[in-house]
Structure 1
Amino acid sequence: MNNNEAPVFTTGEFAKKSGVTLRTLRYYDKINLLKPCSYTKSGHRLYSKSDFGKLQKILTLKFIGLSLKDISKIMNYDMEDSNIKKSLEIQRVIMKEKVHHIEAVIKSIDEAINMLDTSNTLNWDKFINIISIINTDQKWMNQYENASNLKARIRIHELFSINAKGWMNWFFEHLNIKIDSRILELGCGDGELWEKNLNRIPEGWNIVLTDFSEGMLKDAEVNLGENSGRFNFKIADAQKIPFEDNSFDVVIANNMLYHISNINLALSEIHRVLKPGGTLYASTVGKNHMKEMRDIVNVFGSKNLTLNSWTLTENFQLENGMEKLNKWFNNVKLKRYKDSLKITDEIPLMNYIFSMPGNNKSSFTGKELKNLTDFLHSEIMKNDYIYITKDTGFFSAQTALNI
């Protein structure tokens, strides 16, 4: 074997190095969970180094508590097997969720033991609470897919955007915020706006990060790492913001208002919690954003791919946002971000398409996936890239000053 060839292992070697049984490997092969990379002329299974990464993911998700059926869906869903870092980051977030769940169960059991130690009687309501906590549906499968979806959508912009500045850096630079301001972000997601600009955050800012999803808030805390102590985290619905009137100098809504079912109610809540003269920064996209992506899906013409999710932004876009904001705020201004994509690799493009709600890789046969891969590759080869329009920007709007 020369140095350019990838090392391969027999089933016995692979089992010994990984600490799993031959029976387990044979079963994973049988159910298409972990297929060998190749076979010998006599039909014996062979595994590569990358298969250790796949096995690690399977065993981690199994430890979390997912069924082999759910793990199979996740393995099918993750197309970019070479991106080990992305996979490990997602696993780390969910493992932390699992630890948090276990700690809550242990705390409830300790409380029950303490009750018996002190009074020799058991409060059955608290005892039943242990069962409730144990059975809490953590939706591990959904959390994994949500995290993977978000990273897939961010990744395509990181890889292929023409504007080297990057949206998060550009947006942050246009936030005109005083040193001693109190700032609220609604729908902070995984905290990327702050993680990308940590070295530019003034010490005097008092920042509260909120999201409707507890999982996303924990993702944000993990991503901010040792700097997470500079932020406050709180679960919040933008339609019922859990803060008093006139609490903040600035509210940031970064590509999230179009997700709100009652946007008028959300804007009234934002207006309520802003101080007189306070500023809202609300980013969104235009109707032509990623329009070529929709064309690609249409031309491919698969019944298993949907375009419905691309209409979700219509509730609050660059074209109609000013009209909606003018009902609640003064001095509404729009600033657009100039950028586009030149996609030269079909795999991140496939990841993006399957990250959109309603599109699931597991609904595709192997032949259909190959057809889609070949189709995207051929589209790239026409001009050496696929051009994708980006139409993004933000509104700034202010509350009236008290006179």
Structure 2
Amino acid sequence: MNSENLMTVGELASKMNVTVRTLQYYDKQGLLKPSSQSEGGRRLYTNKDMIKLNQILSLKFLGFSLEDIKSRLIPIDTPKEVDNALKEQASIIQDKISYLQEALTAIESLREEIQQINSIDWKKYSDIISLLQSKNENYWVVKYFDTDSFHKIKTSFTSEDSEKIISTWHELCNQIIQLKSQNELPTGSKSQLVAKDWWNMVNRFTGGDITMLKDLVNFNKDKENWNTDWKEKQTLIDDFLEQALFKYFKDNNIEVPKI
């Protein structure tokens, strides 16, 4: 073995920006034992040891425990094994980058929502965090409902129920847009069938709780912060829907409180 390629524990520590104590600890734990020894008994490291140390430090930086690192270390005795080791590191780092990007997106989204809510409501913040972590793309709707109303929605609906209502909303919006393109009147029979379905959707969402209509009205008024697709659809149908619902309520003797 070429002595010029050998390093003392101090030299390796300096090159890899770690402490001598760290290397001694890795040696004791069986993670990284020096590959050589001088005639005087000094323990020496090789360039291969330095590559292995790089594996260890990379995995440690990514949050793996020493026990996990032991099981993840890949042999580097051949070019193929070195390639596999680097490929594995790259994959782990990419996963970490994706996780951190998701975490950053969630934090920025939460920060934006809190700025818009502009009040201290820890329950609502926790609900937003919960929805963000579950990757629910409709988390932004939360801020339009007071804490009690949102609690009712959250406890009454499964994720599947919520998705069905959102799907129904999209479908009814598309129907109204089509009716408008066909020059149908809001008071016409086809439009009244859609008004009926819309009111059924609202009742399903609120559980028949009329007090929640105020939140829905406020939600509809403030489209500035809506999802773009939602905003465009609702804006297109608002006038038509209002006229259709007015007739539907009148014909069916439905009393809706003024808000």
More helix, by proportion: 2
Larger Rg: 2
TM-score, structure 2 as length reference: 0.46
TM-score, structure 1 as length reference: 0.30
Structure number with greater CO (CA < 8 Å, separation at least 6) is 1
More strand, by proportion: 1
